Amino acid sequence: MEKALDIAKIEAEISKLVAESLKLHAEGLKLHAEDMKLHAEVAKMTRERTWYPFVVITAGLTSTFAAGAVIAKLIWP
């Protein structure tokens, strides 16, 4: 009888530990998802800081040269 009580206590303790483990696992998954969102945000900010200004400058230079070519063609036919 005493052995059965010990087994029941052990099983209850194992059940508690499994439940706690599942809870921690779920929390870890939430933290991982948040980390992935932050990583995506950092990547977006990096693109905005480096790539987008380059595109704007390139577009500005291209339009300036195109406008210059049009003006030159009008001035020197």
3-state secondary structure 23-50: HHHHHHHHHHHHHHHHHHHHHHHHHHHH
Return the SS3 of 77.
coil
Task: Give the pTM.
Answer: 0.56
Residues of the chain below pLDDT 50: none
Instruction: Report the C-alpha gap between 47 and 40 in whole angstroms.
Output: 11
**Mean pLDDT for the chain?**
90
Instruction: Report the C-alpha gap between 45 and 51 in whole angstroms.
Output: 10
Tens of pLDDT, residues 61-74: 898 888 888 888 88
